[in-house]
Amino acid sequence: MTIWIPDLTEYAGPRYKALATAIALGIDAGELIAQQKLPPQRQLADALGVTLGTVTRGYAEAERRGLVSARVGSGTYVNEKGAKVRDEFLIPDPREGFIDLTVSLPVRLGQQALLAETLGELQHDPDTLAHMLEYHPDGGFEHHRQVIAKWISYGNFASPPDSITLCNGGQHAIQLALIAACRPGDTILAEGLAYPGLKSIARQLSLKVIPIPMDEQGILLDSIADLCRQYNPRLIYCTPTQHNPTNVQMTLQRRRQLISVANECQLLIIEDDVSASLVQNRPEPLASMAPERVFYISSCSKGLAGGLRVGFLVSPQAYRDRAASALRASCWMAPPLMVEIACRWIQQGAATQLLAKQREALQVRFALVSDIFRSLDFSARADSFFVWLVLPEHWRASAFVKAAEEKKVLITAAESFAVGNYPAPQAVRICISAAKDLASLEEGLRMIQQLALSEVDEKIETF
Ligand SMILES: Cc1ncc(COP(=O)(O)O)c(C=O)c1O
């Protein structure tokens, strides 16, 4: 039987993308039909004169575009036309009977009791309630911004209340910073593996994102000057304190070096620090080293509760008005009632207690991971929501995620975090905080561990 071999010389750009495009065009031209099995990867690699890795990435890219689906132990098949394209950033409805470890959220610690208490207090405070029904001035009520300014201050980092824009969570803060700093068509730099929400906003704002390689101390600085010459980027987006998805923490020295590179290259920085409140003894924020250059992002979502939708953007002086306009244009203001609830939790000490309980709960989950994954290659922290599991050599991340799904455990492949053409490692992110209780976390982790170590020939995808 003849196999389908595209002519990649017709397409420019990275070979794996060319292969995905050839698959798309092959489907359009009727050369590939629904349910047809694509050629075995090794065979196609030999026929095209490319590496096996290129074909693996090409198939994964085609899968990301919704063109094909990999089936565990069987191969990769052409989808029916119009099959849904998966958006890694969407959170699907909960799936009955599944252990969902895909979303990075705080452990559920009965925050609703605290909310009930605060709503009870507010019920007897008609003046505050009336105030909460007013329109905010730009960036939020002065009192709220004072409380938040104190709450996010850390070491030498103290942001004046008028530098803060109160908004609807960290995601919204990133959006406001990008709108304030960039114009459609601009280029930005980001860690090679980055929070998918950044990629999603950049797409919607027509910004091009170029990946910067990383090591275990954060962004590698050597390449930045070259990338600046080549792409003339506006800014760098990074998550120095608890990198999502790898758990890497940028060292103080690397932070200082990053600031000097940003100064030399005239780059702004977006410092995404949404999880920092959970991390004790963390290095100084970039924003305190160069407040005129750094947009600082923080949020109540990770330490307190995601549904509060309260986030904070600290902007450099020159960009404050633009951030305020972006807020007005997107939603006018963060709901004052939600900010009031967050501020009461902060002022009454409940937020600090919640953070302490959150750390304790994460510590217990971390101990469980360390025990169950002891023979695997993983990166975890006692104060992090997720584990980064580097898969044994015989596994491809997308196949592993599918195999886990078949066993009713949901996790995320590294590919979902890869920026541009950054080569995603064969690794997965497992959100240990998302499991509803310790028993289901243990069940999910044991299943993942067994799958990772299971026999090679069950799932190798290079038939
Ligand atoms: C690195 C990072 N930034 C921003 C966000 C968005 O935070 P929020 O829920 O406050 O919008 C998340 C959420 O997971 C995140 O992981």
Query: Pick from 297, 328, 348: which residue ends a domain?
Result: 348
Query: 307 alpha carbon to ligand 1 midpoint, in Å?
Result: 12
Query: 20 alpha carbon to ligand 1 midpoint, in Å?
Result: 30
Q: What integer pLDDT is reported at residue 91 of this predicted model?
A: 67
CATH label of the domain that carries residue 21? 1.10.10.10
CB of 168 closer than 6 angstroms to any ligand 1 atom = no
Cα 249 to chain centroid distance, Å, stands at: 15
CB of 311 closer than 6 angstroms to any ligand 1 atom = yes
Query: 404 alpha carbon to ligand 1 midpoint, in Å?
Result: 25
Answer whether residue 201 is part of any domain.
Answer: yes
| Residue-by-residue DSSP string for 176-200 | HHHHHH--TT-EEEEESB--HHHHH
Contact 267, 236 (CB under 8 A): yes
CB of 171 closer than 6 angstroms to any ligand 1 atom = yes
Residue with tokens 């053409």: 421
pLDDT band of residue 139 (cuts 50, 70, 90) is confident
CATH label of the domain that carries residue 252? 3.40.640.10
Q: What integer pLDDT is reported at residue 421 of this predicted model?
A: 80
CB of 416 closer than 6 angstroms to any ligand 1 atom = no
Q: Which tokens belong to 333?
A: 């203001």
Answer whether residue 334 is part of any domain.
Answer: yes
CA nearest ligand 1 atom 14, residue? 104
pLDDT band of residue 1 (cuts 50, 70, 90) is low
Would the pLDDT of 84 be above 80? no
pLDDT band of residue 126 (cuts 50, 70, 90) is very high
Contact 295, 313 (CB under 8 A): yes
CB of 175 closer than 6 angstroms to any ligand 1 atom = no
CB of 104 closer than 6 angstroms to any ligand 1 atom = yes
CB of 14 closer than 6 angstroms to any ligand 1 atom = no
In angstroms, rounded to a whole number, what is the distance separating the alpha carbons of residues 319 and 218?
A: 26
Q: What integer pLDDT is reported at residue 87 of this predicted model?
A: 59
The pLDDT mean for the chain works out to 92
Would the pLDDT of 291 be above 80? yes
In angstroms, rounded to a whole number, what is the distance separating the alpha carbons of residues 393 and 396?
A: 8
Could you tell which of 91, 102, 165, 171 is best to mutate to test the pocket of ligand 1, judged by most ligand atoms within 8 Å of the CB?
Answer: 171
Query: 237 alpha carbon to ligand 1 midpoint, in Å?
Result: 13
Query: Same domain for 382 and 337?
Result: no
Would the pLDDT of 31 be above 90? no
Helices 15-28 & 52-64 angle (0-180, nearest 10): 50
Report which secondary-structure segment, H or E, holds 213.
none
Answer whether residue 69 is part of any domain.
Answer: yes
Partners of 193 in the β-ladder: 418
Would the pLDDT of 73 be above 90? no
Q: What integer pLDDT is reported at residue 462 of this predicted model?
A: 42
Query: 2 alpha carbon to ligand 1 midpoint, in Å?
Result: 48
Query: Same domain for 207 and 318?
Result: yes
Q: What integer pLDDT is reported at residue 88 of this predicted model?
A: 64
Query: Same domain for 176 and 284?
Result: yes
Q: What is the mean pLDDT of residues 252-259?
A: 96
Task: Determine the atom of ligand 1 nearest the C-alpha atom of 242.
Answer: 1
Would the pLDDT of 132 be above 70? yes
Task: Determine the atom of ligand 1 nearest the C-alpha atom of 195.
Answer: 1
CB of 386 closer than 6 angstroms to any ligand 1 atom = no
In angstroms, rounded to a whole number, what is the distance separating the alpha carbons of residues 313 and 302?
A: 15
CB of 271 closer than 6 angstroms to any ligand 1 atom = no
Q: Is 20 helix (H, G, I), strand (E, B) or coil?
A: helix
Query: 410 alpha carbon to ligand 1 midpoint, in Å?
Result: 19
In angstroms, rounded to a whole number, what is the distance separating the alpha carbons of residues 260 and 21?
A: 40
Query: Same domain for 263 and 307?
Result: yes
Q: Which tokens belong to 282?
A: 């963390």
Residue with tokens 């026929």: 47
Answer whether residue 71 is part of any domain.
Answer: yes
Percent of the chain with pLDDT over 70: 95
Contact 194, 237 (CB under 8 A): yes
Would the pLDDT of 177 be above 90? yes
Query: Same domain for 253 and 387?
Result: no
Residue with tokens 């600085």: 221
Query: Same domain for 313 and 446?
Result: no
Query: Same domain for 195 and 320?
Result: yes
Amino acid of residue 368:
L
Query: Same domain for 176 and 222?
Result: yes
Query: 170 alpha carbon to ligand 1 midpoint, in Å?
Result: 5
Query: 39 alpha carbon to ligand 1 midpoint, in Å?
Result: 39
Would the pLDDT of 205 be above 60? yes
CB of 306 closer than 6 angstroms to any ligand 1 atom = yes
Query: Same domain for 313 and 401?
Result: no
Answer whether residue 168 is part of any domain.
Answer: yes
Characterize the bridge pairing of strands 409-410 and 99-100: parallel
DSSP annotation of 193: B
Cα 241 to chain centroid distance, Å, stands at: 13
Query: Same domain for 320 and 392?
Result: no
Q: Which tokens belong to 189?
A: 């730099």
Q: What integer pLDDT is reported at residue 86 of this predicted model?
A: 52
Query: Pick from 290, 320, 348: which residue ends a domain?
Result: 348
pLDDT band of residue 460 (cuts 50, 70, 90) is very low
Overall number of domains in the chain:
3
Q: Which residue has the higher pLDDT, 460 or 126?
A: 126
Could you tell which of 191, 302, 388, 417 is best to mutate to test the pocket of ligand 1, judged by most ligand atoms within 8 Å of the CB?
Answer: 302
Indicate the Cα dihedral angle 383, 384, 385, 387, nearest 10°. Answer: -130
Q: What is the mean pLDDT of residues 63-77?
A: 80
Query: Pick from 326, 348, 370: which residue ends a domain?
Result: 348
Answer whether residue 251 is part of any domain.
Answer: yes
Answer whether residue 463 is part of any domain.
Answer: no
Percent of the chain with pLDDT over 90: 80
User: Which class for 80: exposed (0-12), middle (13-18), buried (19 or more C-beta within 10 A)?
Assistant: exposed
Answer whether residue 1 is part of any domain.
Answer: no
Would the pLDDT of 404 be above 70? yes
CB of 238 closer than 6 angstroms to any ligand 1 atom = no
Q: What integer pLDDT is reported at residue 310 of this predicted model?
A: 97
Task: Determine the atom of ligand 1 nearest the C-alpha atom of 105.
Answer: 14
CB of 340 closer than 6 angstroms to any ligand 1 atom = no
Query: Same domain for 154 and 216?
Result: yes
Query: Same domain for 297 and 378?
Result: no
Task: Determine the atom of ligand 1 nearest the C-alpha atom of 174.
Answer: 4
CB of 274 closer than 6 angstroms to any ligand 1 atom = yes
User: Which class for 177: exposed (0-12), middle (13-18), buried (19 or more C-beta within 10 A)?
Assistant: buried
Instruction: Pick left, alpha or beta for residue 92 (phi over 0 → left; psi -120 to 50 → alpha; otherwise beta).
Output: beta
Q: Which residue has the higher pLDDT, 69 or 277?
A: 277
CATH label of the domain that carries residue 368? 3.90.1150.10
pLDDT band of residue 35 (cuts 50, 70, 90) is confident
Q: Which residue has the higher pLDDT, 455 or 56?
A: 56
pLDDT band of residue 89 (cuts 50, 70, 90) is low
Radius of gyration of the chain (CA): 23
Q: What integer pLDDT is reported at residue 47 of this predicted model?
A: 93
Q: What integer pLDDT is reported at residue 463 of this predicted model?
A: 40
How many contiguous H segments (helices) and E segments (strands) does the chain have?
16, 17
Would the pLDDT of 459 be above 50? no
CB of 299 closer than 6 angstroms to any ligand 1 atom = yes
- In which domain, by residue range, is 451 found? 99-105+354-458
Q: State residue 234 phi and psi, 5-degree precision.
A: -80, -40
Task: Determine the atom of ligand 1 nearest the C-alpha atom of 244.
Answer: 1
